[in-house]
Amino acid sequence: MLNVGLTGGIASGKSTVARMLAEKGAELIDFDEMAHAVQDPEGPVWREIIRHFGEEILHEDLSIDRRKLGETVFADRTKRELLNRLVHPAIFAEWQRRLAEIRARRADAIVVSDIPLLIEAGMKGMVDLVLLVYIAPEEQIRRVMARDGFNREEAERRLAAQMPIEEKLRSADIVIRNGGSPEETRRAVCRVWTELKIREKSRQEGIGRS
């Protein structure tokens, strides 16, 4: 099994690339989806978040309003780090469970784990390679403003809360530059998928020779 860590900056198009790879046959593990799951109302992570951040971040159905929570933690590094400490252990445990399940039923799988904070969380050593979706910082700002309805100041604040994309480049094994058209992105994904299949085949052959 080849375990690929997919990452990128805010609004880089990482989810689009993940979806395209899943269409090619990758087994996708989405950390944002797992983050939602571990924060289900009345669960242990939910209770800890409410204890630290208050009931004002809740919707009427008691689910966490991620936009309100985001506004709180993106403005305060200490609160952001606290939220990560509350959520990450539960997400990591679920990730390990899903990896084990995939490995058990499909030993030759190419798993793409969509991990926004892969590099920041020091998880590079937990994956076989890092695939980075890259766009220039100015394009990130433009996309965040268009996608989320933020003004430029808020978009820049969100960007500043993350590791600069240029720094992430240094940790990447494969880079998809996603500043062009959807067709260009799809062609890049096709090239990357071919490379991933070659790497997984080589890994299997290496196991066979050992």
Per-residue model confidence (pLDDT) at position 94: 92
Domain boundaries along the sequence of the chain: 2-209
The per-residue pLDDT for range 73-98, each reduced to its tens digit, is 887 889 989 998 999 899 999 999 99
The per-residue pLDDT for range 49-65, each reduced to its tens digit, is 999 999 999 999 999 99
Classify residue 163 by its DSSP letter.
-
Per-residue model confidence (pLDDT) at position 209: 61
Which of the residue ranges 100-109, 124-133, 156-165, 170-179 would you say has the lowest mean pLDDT? 156-165
| In the predicted structure, residue 207 carries a pLDDT above the cut 80 | no
Per-residue model confidence (pLDDT) at position 210: 54
Per-residue model confidence (pLDDT) at position 70: 86
Q: What is the mean pLDDT of residues 120-127?
A: 92
Q: What is the mean pLDDT of residues 155-165?
A: 88
The per-residue pLDDT for range 129-151, each reduced to its tens digit, is 999 999 999 999 999 999 989 99
Residue with tokens 């309100």: 68
The pTM of this model reads 0.85
Sheet with 27-30, strands from edge to edge, namely 27-30, 110-114, 2-8, 129-134, 174-177
In the CATH scheme, what is the homologous superfamily, with its name and number, of domain 2-209? P-loop containing nucleotide triphosphate hydrolases (3.40.50.300)
Q: For residue 160, what pLDDT band results from cuts at 50, 70 and 90?
A: confident
Residue 7, token pair as written in the block: 């990452």
* Residue among 42, 34, 206 nearest 117 (CA): 34
* Residue among 182, 165, 158, 188 nearest 70 (CA): 158
* 3-state DSSP assignment of residue 204: helix
